Structure 1
Amino acid sequence: MAVQRRDFLKKLGLAGVGLSLMPGLIQAAPKYKMPAKGKDLSVVRLSGKVHTNGSGIANVAVTDGYNVVLTDAKGRYEFDSNATVEFVYISIPRGYEFPSEKSITRFYKRITAERGKFKADFELKKLTQDDTNHNYVVWADPQIISKSDAEQLKTESAPDLKKLVSSYAAGTLFHGFGCGDLVWDKFELFDDYQQALNHTAVQFFQVIGNHDMDLTARTDEHSAETFKKLFGPTYYSFNRGEIHYVVLDDVFFIGTAKKYIGYITEKQLAWLEQDLAHIKPGSTVVVNLHIPVFTRQHIRNKEKDEPLGGVVANRKELYRLLKPFKAHINSGHTHFNEKILEGDNIIEHVHGTVCGAWWTGPICFDGTPGGYGVYEVNGSDIKWYYKSTSLPKEHQLRLYPVGKVKEKPEHFAANVWNWDPQWKVEWLEDDRKMGEMQRETGYDPLSVELHEGTAKPAKHKWVEPQLTEHLFFAKPSPNTHKITVKVTDRFGNIFQEELAQQQPVKSAVN
């Protein structure tokens, strides 16, 4: 392994490492131009009505990003905000369509106050079906940096999602999350990203990533200006069926190009506390953000400290706010797939990416195929699977023959990328049950083949294999003809693969 080079990459921060090493892309941020006058802190009175065909909708949460109020019996709201606030927006209630434009959801109004007042009405349309059961997908890190990348997103990823949706019963409700790094610092490609979403016909909610920020901003407060012009607020909530969905901005820009930490601001936490106060304890809450709240990568790499740009530093407060609920956290950023269990009520889904290893080939650098998460909601319960782009949804593992992992020359291996502790990975030898395979930390052999070394992959030579904990090993008996791996996920779904052997499997022992 290219150990010294890989150690250097780790120190620079996980997802931004590629750009950090590309010549000519690092530059000092220009000085921020101060406004002619100081910041306006005057009071702005916000008011309006949330309605359907003129009939008010009661108890809809309305917010300016600081305050959260509920509409009255006639759907009206009114509260004091201030002139620094940019948006007034709603938490779309269950039973209503998501207002959208070319698959981009529009649940907000930009404030343009006159004489200290701004009125914003929100018209919603009732769904023609019950939304208790519905599905959603998580697209982590499309991260397009060129027209070539954008073309792959539009001609491979988008059609794959569209085909998946069509495989469900007609009328099945779907929505999606662009889980950050929608582009790769090339803001002119946001239009291509939106074109890809429009092709899927799935309505998407957007999450800001570290590569979606304005790198010329002098502080975090100004780093999302472009994103907000295109997609609205960077943190918000909505409801579908019995699920309460939340989007947060956990990428804190520290004022110099490509430098950031995983951190949730006090402003967001104070807002979230108000938002969740209106949700019944015991409900299911799904939080979407870009940087994982936590991963075990630094543990796998035997590093003393957590990467500042790789996990959320103040995650304990988020965990506290989520404690009364059944919570799922969706994140991206890492370009590997991992499940993190926190206590008995929180599971974090760290997603493999739409772009894989930055559009260099079919896999992420832990061996997870490029793809996305699919979640099936039934009431307050959620089931999920990982969908590999251009492959059937049953594709949930990859097998490697004896000798493929050089550190374990007598063993065959299986990469089960969406594994969590409630999965079972068993193997059969010539149709004879042999028990469970042994899970170990290691490098995916295909990732080693495609990514290891300074010469490859040719497109982005800094990509390297990364350690993963979802590799499984077993040692077959001499002269075995057929090896079968049977994987059972936490929902009882069974996935099975066989190693194709031209000759009997022979032990590596002389």
Structure 2
Amino acid sequence: MEKRRSFLKSIALLGTALSVPTALFAERKSFSPVLKDAMVSGKVTDQGKGIPGVPVTDGFTIVTTDHQGSFELQRDPRSEFIYLTKPSGYEFTHQSGIAQFYKPIAAGDYNFSLKKLGKDDDEHVFVVWADPQIQTDADAQNILTQAGPDLVKLKASYPTGTLIHGICAGDIVWDQFRLFKDYKNSISQSDIPFFQVIGNHDMDLDVRTDDLSARTFKQNFGPSYYSYNRGKIHYIALDDVFFLGTGRRYIGYLTENQLHWLEQDLSHVPLGTTVVLTLHIPTNTGQKRRYGLKEDDIANVVSNREQLYQILKPYQSYILSGHTHFNEHIVEGNRHEIVHGAICGAWWSGPVCYDGTPKGYGVYEVKGNQLSWYYKSIGKEKEHQIRVYDRGNKARPGQVVANVWNWDASWEVKWKEDGVLKGTMTQFSGKDPMAIDLYEGAVKPQEQPWVEPILTDHLFYANPSTVAKSVEVIATDRFGQVFTARIDL
């Protein structure tokens, strides 16, 4: 943890220089000179018939196909791909689990063939994996034997033919690009198409600027920002890891190129649409408040998030992120951010993240423009949503403590003593007792001794009587789903 704190402190020292990133990275009203041979054209078809109105982009400019499905695009000299925003009602094609919606500029052929779904896609499911973060062959075995099979089992729990896709919220590997193949093998087990966003550990660090830092990621997964549609939902992926050009230093920041592209993208989306946006670094967390900090840690939140919020304001937006290895919900008006616990838990060194959230992932069920969700702990059933600690715990000795890791302020958490309902548990910010036992101290966990438990808001306590024999915790989420957990005292 000391190494991590030193790193974060060094990042924080850059705050004065980077507190107004727009001063460093000024808005570009015009881009590089247009190349003479920069006009590209193609067609988007379904069984040879053109599909009109499909957005096509080079990552800088967006055009739409005409009534015959054809498009022409004056590409930017810096563009690396021609890709489209898949319309609702069409299949997500994939290769070894990696969604296919793009063509490298070098391909020369920019025709796209789509296939109509055989069913309505207003109802579908998607999962969010955050931070697989595999660094060693042992980590690769873990993701292949734990996370991959868990996803296979989850898919089998839904009726045959259910439309399911996946999103990986970054830090696919831990700087070891040779292990991208193991990630691909893990997701291909379930035959679910996955869309990826880039994390800070997926960046090339041997380049001089952020513009070049996604080189290997793009070779494996395509563009680092893009959009697609399924049913009534518009999905967006963005790259918010900004490499500072030295060491391993980065900040959470969205470039003008992306914000300009996003404005174009959303101009094709009706106001009020439900938008699901995935990026790696959270736009915001509660860490500044929990730790009483004067400033945000600019390596762990998006420094220019207000500009993003302004663009998203006309939409019902869900921002899905990872990076932190803890689970948290932040709800403000029509914007709901969900920071996901990690697939790897505490970097494959223990069964829980350092806020006590089990290693796992988010599962989202979509009906029309409405989302519901739950957190799926790897190796556990869907009902595993609470962990209860007896009075001997180190977080609040003498009291019973519950960790309800997917909690947000709309949940209701009650408790029973010996079968008798006693009322609402008291929410508090503290450290998870299991995380304390597993991770607190300079020598544990053995694999990653710098891991330490952190403060979290999703803890609750109750004071049972001295003669109580058992306590049951009953948590009801915002969708009316009821979860319980019981402990004998």
Partner SS, residue 82 of structure 1: coil
* Aligned-partner residue type, residue 271 of structure 1: W
1:329-386 Cα distance to aligned partner (Å, 9 max, x none): 10000000000112x2110010000000000111000000000000000000000000
Task: Say yes or no: does 1:400 pair with 2:393.
Answer: no
How many Å separate the matches in 1 of 2:103 and 2:248?
30
Uncovered stretches (5+) of structure 2, i.e. residues with no partner: 13-31
- Which residue of structure 1 aligns with residue 9 of structure 2? 11
Partner SS, residue 88 of structure 1: strand
- Which residue of structure 1 aligns with residue 70 of structure 2? 76
- Which residue of structure 1 aligns with residue 19 of structure 2? none
Within a 5 Å distance, the mapping from 1:6-85 to structure 2 comes to 8=6, 10-11=8-9, 41-43=34-36, 44-85=38-79
Q: Of the candidates 225, 230, 247, which is equivalent to residue 240 of structure 1?
A: 230
Task: Say yes or no: does 1:446 pair with 2:434.
Answer: yes
- Which residue of structure 1 aligns with residue 220 of structure 2? 230
Partner SS, residue 452 of structure 2: coil
Task: Say yes or no: does 1:101 pair with 2:91.
Answer: no
Percent identity between matched residues is 51
Q: How many equivalent residue pairs?
A: 469
Within a 5 Å distance, the mapping from 1:206-225 to structure 2 comes to 206-225=196-215
Task: Say yes or no: does 1:366 pair with 2:366.
Answer: no
1:51-95 Cα distance to aligned partner (Å, 9 max, x none): 011100011010111111111111010121233211110000001
- Name the CA shift for 1:121/1:361 in 2 (closer, same or farther; >3 Å): same
Q: Superposition RMSD on alpha carbons, in Å?
A: 1.6
How many Å separate the matches in 1 of 2:424 and 2:346?
30
Q: Of the candidates 179, 183, 188, which is equivalent to residue 173 of structure 2?
A: 183
Task: Say yes or no: does 1:492 pair with 2:480.
Answer: yes
Contact 2:429–2:457 at 8 Å: present in 1 too? yes
- Which residue of structure 2 aligns with residue 164 of structure 1? 154
Contact 1:40–1:84 at 8 Å: present in 2 too? no
How many Å separate the matches in 2 of 1:350 and 1:449?
24
Q: Shift in Å at residue 129 of structure 1? A: 1.2
Uncovered stretches (5+) of structure 1, i.e. residues with no partner: 15-38, 502-510
How many Å separate the matches in 1 of 2:319 and 2:214?
22
Contact 2:130–2:343 at 8 Å: present in 1 too? yes
- Which residue of structure 1 aligns with residue 371 of structure 2? 382
* Aligned-partner residue type, residue 423 of structure 2: G
Contact 1:292–1:332 at 8 Å: present in 2 too? yes
Q: Of the candidates 420, 425, 430, which is equivalent to residue 437 of structure 1?
A: 425
How many Å separate the matches in 1 of 2:10 and 2:369?
40
* Aligned-partner residue type, residue 302 of structure 1: G
TM-score normalised to the size of structure 2? Answer: 0.94
How many Å separate the matches in 2 of 1:77 and 1:345?
35
How many Å separate the matches in 2 of 1:138 and 1:447?
23
1:104-142 Cα distance to aligned partner (Å, 9 max, x none): 0110111128xxxx5410000111111110000000000
Contact 2:132–2:173 at 8 Å: present in 1 too? yes
Q: Of the candidates 340, 345, 358, which is equivalent to residue 351 of structure 1?
A: 340
Contact 2:8–2:299 at 8 Å: present in 1 too? no
* Aligned-partner residue type, residue 65 of structure 2: T
Partner SS, residue 106 of structure 2: coil
Q: Shift in Å at residue 10 of structure 1? A: 4.9
How many Å separate the matches in 2 of 1:130 and 1:184?
38
Contact 1:374–1:387 at 8 Å: present in 2 too? yes
- Name the CA shift for 1:201/1:358 in 2 (closer, same or farther; >3 Å): same
Q: Shift in Å at residue 301 of structure 1? A: 1.4
- Which residue of structure 2 aligns with residue 327 of structure 1? 317
- Which residue of structure 1 aligns with residue 413 of structure 2? 425
How many Å separate the matches in 2 of 1:361 and 1:440?
24
* Aligned-partner residue type, residue 500 of structure 1: D
- Name the CA shift for 1:178/1:13 in 2 (closer, same or farther; >3 Å): farther
- Name the CA shift for 1:411/1:6 in 2 (closer, same or farther; >3 Å): farther
- Which residue of structure 1 aligns with residue 257 of structure 2? 267
Contact 1:405–1:413 at 8 Å: present in 2 too? no
1:282-330 Cα distance to aligned partner (Å, 9 max, x none): 1100000000000011221121110011000000111111111111010
Q: Of the candidates 76, 80, 100, which is equivalent to residue 86 of structure 1?
A: 80
How many Å separate the matches in 2 of 1:65 and 1:85?
6
* Aligned-partner residue type, residue 80 of structure 2: E
How many Å separate the matches in 2 of 1:220 and 1:134?
35
- Name the CA shift for 1:9/1:302 in 2 (closer, same or farther; >3 Å): farther
TM-score normalised to the size of structure 1? Answer: 0.90
- Which residue of structure 2 aligns with residue 467 of structure 1? 455
How many Å separate the matches in 2 of 1:222 and 1:5?
27
Within a 5 Å distance, the mapping from 1:281-320 to structure 2 comes to 281-320=271-310
* Aligned-partner residue type, residue 217 of structure 1: V
- Which residue of structure 2 aligns with residue 255 of structure 1? 245
Partner SS, residue 176 of structure 1: strand
Partner SS, residue 195 of structure 1: helix
- Name the CA shift for 1:473/1:9 in 2 (closer, same or farther; >3 Å): farther
- Name the CA shift for 1:496/1:106 in 2 (closer, same or farther; >3 Å): same
How many Å separate the matches in 2 of 1:7 and 1:237?
35
- Name the CA shift for 1:13/1:333 in 2 (closer, same or farther; >3 Å): farther
How many Å separate the matches in 1 of 2:195 and 2:109?
24
How many Å separate the matches in 2 of 1:281 and 1:367?
38
How many Å separate the matches in 1 of 2:176 and 2:486?
43
Partner SS, residue 189 of structure 2: helix
Contact 2:469–2:488 at 8 Å: present in 1 too? no
Contact 1:134–1:378 at 8 Å: present in 2 too? yes
